[in-house]
Amino acid sequence: MGDRILAHVEKSPGRIECALDLSKVYPARRSAFEEFRRRYEEFRCCDKWNEKIYKLKGQKLLYQSEQLVPAKSNDKPPLLMVFGNPASHSVKAGCFFAFKGSRESPFWKSLLGKAGVIEFPSDRGTPAKEQNATRAKQILSLDYESPFRVAFCVYISMPSPAGGRWSGVAGIRKLVGALSLKRLEAVETERILELARRFLADGGIAVTFQRNAWEGLRSENDPHYSISKAREAGLRGALRGMPHVRLLGVPPTRLIGPAREVLRQVLSEEGYKLIPESP
């Protein structure tokens, strides 16, 4: 994985193996690394999924992450959706916003479905333990109804629990420290932009659902993030270094209703014909 502070290798569709070199994150003081180790033990033990996807080997933090980017193509415009960071249970399950048992995450139908972005074939009869794999395959094989060819990625690759004091990007900031997270964001930004240069080579659109993602990917003259701007559909610009690709920011996925309404609004106003809302 080379000599970078943070390296990513896509081992299989949907799965990324990551290595964070902590000797480069905390080069100055041994005590800083020991403080990280104490935080890491609490972080790792707070969630049973963290224990399965993280491993500390010396000064290398190894972990798994996720992205779903279809290699298959069609004549529809590409839509790249960028989230803050993965939920640990979803990484282990192999699918964004993973089913819990047989229960589908509201993200799929209540947010993307009702926003007119994507509809999947009926999964009735699919055993619960297979539903996450089925959803991932549907995304990679373009087996869905949508005006777009859709891809999913995360801005910060480090997973965290879905709830509690270590959840979200805030939990990762707490784990590694604010200054260290800024250094990691520079590497993560390059990863996303490299992905965008491939997936959005002929145009299309990118949508962020989180503050760090918007701030890291927006062009210099685009507005800074605020939750009020996100709620008012005021985060619009171009992807950094790719002026031909529109970048839109919407409220976070935890705000299902506002995220859905703003997503439908901004995509409609960009001229895309979305799936009609069900009665």
pLDDT for 186-197, tens place per residue? 999 999 999 999
Q: Are residues 126 and 51 in the same domain?
A: no
pLDDT score, position 29: 73
Q: Taking 60 as the threshold, does the pLDDT of residue 163 lie above it?
A: yes
Q: Are residues 172 and 205 in the same domain?
A: yes
CA-nearest of 85, 203, 214, 91 to 149 is: 203
Confidence of residue 178 (pLDDT cuts 50, 70, 90): very high
Confidence of residue 1 (pLDDT cuts 50, 70, 90): very low
| Gap between the Cα atoms of 240 and 42, Å rounded | 36
Lowest pLDDT segment from 28-32, 67-71, 145-149, 266-270: 28-32
Q: Give the mean pLDDT of the chain.
A: 93
Q: Are residues 57 and 83 in the same domain?
A: no
Q: Are residues 83 and 28 in the same domain?
A: no
Q: What percent of the chain has pLDDT over 70?
A: 97
Q: Is 68 left (phi over 0), alpha (psi -120 to 50) or beta?
A: beta
Q: How many domains does the chain have?
A: 2
| Gap between the Cα atoms of 55 and 61, Å rounded | 6
Q: Domain of 225: which CATH number?
A: 3.40.470.10
Residue 186: inside a domain: yes
Residue 279: inside a domain: no
Residue 177: inside a domain: yes
| Gap between the Cα atoms of 133 and 42, Å rounded | 30
Domain interval for residue 131: 78-269
- What is the pTM assigned to this prediction? 0.94
pLDDT score, position 224: 98
Q: Are residues 115 and 151 in the same domain?
A: yes
Q: Taking 80 as the threshold, does the pLDDT of residue 167 lie above it?
A: yes
Confidence of residue 231 (pLDDT cuts 50, 70, 90): very high
134 CB burial (10 A radius; 0-12, 13-18, 19+): middle
Q: Are residues 131 and 233 in the same domain?
A: yes
Rounded alpha-carbon distances, angstroms, from residue 57 to 23, 32, 159, 184, 202: 12, 17, 18, 19, 41
Model confidence pLDDT, tens digit, residues 90-138? 999 999 999 887 788 999 999 999 999 999 987 766 776 788 999 999 9
Q: For the residues 203-228, what does the mean pLDDT come to?
A: 97
Q: Are residues 192 and 220 in the same domain?
A: yes
